[in-house]
Amino acid sequence: MARLANTTERQMFYGATPLIFERANQLRKHQTESEKLLWEILKNKQMLGLRFKRQHPIDKYIADFYCHSLKLVIEVDGKIHFNPEKIEVDRERTAIMENFGIIVTRFTNDAILQNIEIVRTSIEMICSKMIFEQTRPPSPLSPL
């Protein structure tokens, strides 16, 4: 896939295959109501000027929402994610993403549908903290 020749793009997708890109494209066409609602808040750099992408390929996974500049994934979890087997799969998926230096945060469908302003504020706080941590100067070395 010529599109991934660019190093930055390769880094953004962490080795995702063409099949994962195709699946992501299909998921974009069939969003859940909670994903649609959250996307209305994240699209067009509305969240602190940050660019979020929806259904973003990362390795063998597809993140619901991804901000590359912060290396932040936002996952939207439906009831199936409370199934014991799915909980374990989600833990493994999160661990793999964390190995890439990505932070993963999760919100339930119900939280988004019932309390979108609280979810928006939570995401804004997470992003603000991450921006601050990226921009603060390193602490001075202590004397030997």
| CATH architecture assignment, domain 2-133 | 3-Layer(aba) Sandwich (3.40)
Which parts of the chain register pLDDT below 70?
Answer: 1-11, 81, 138-144
- 92 and 60 Cβ atoms separated by less than 8 Å: no
Query: pLDDT digit string (tens) for 77-95?
Result: 987 767 877 788 899 999 9
Report the distance separating Cα 6 and Cα 131, nearest Å: 25
- 65 and 52 Cβ atoms separated by less than 8 Å: yes
Report the distance separating Cα 58 and Cα 66, nearest Å: 9
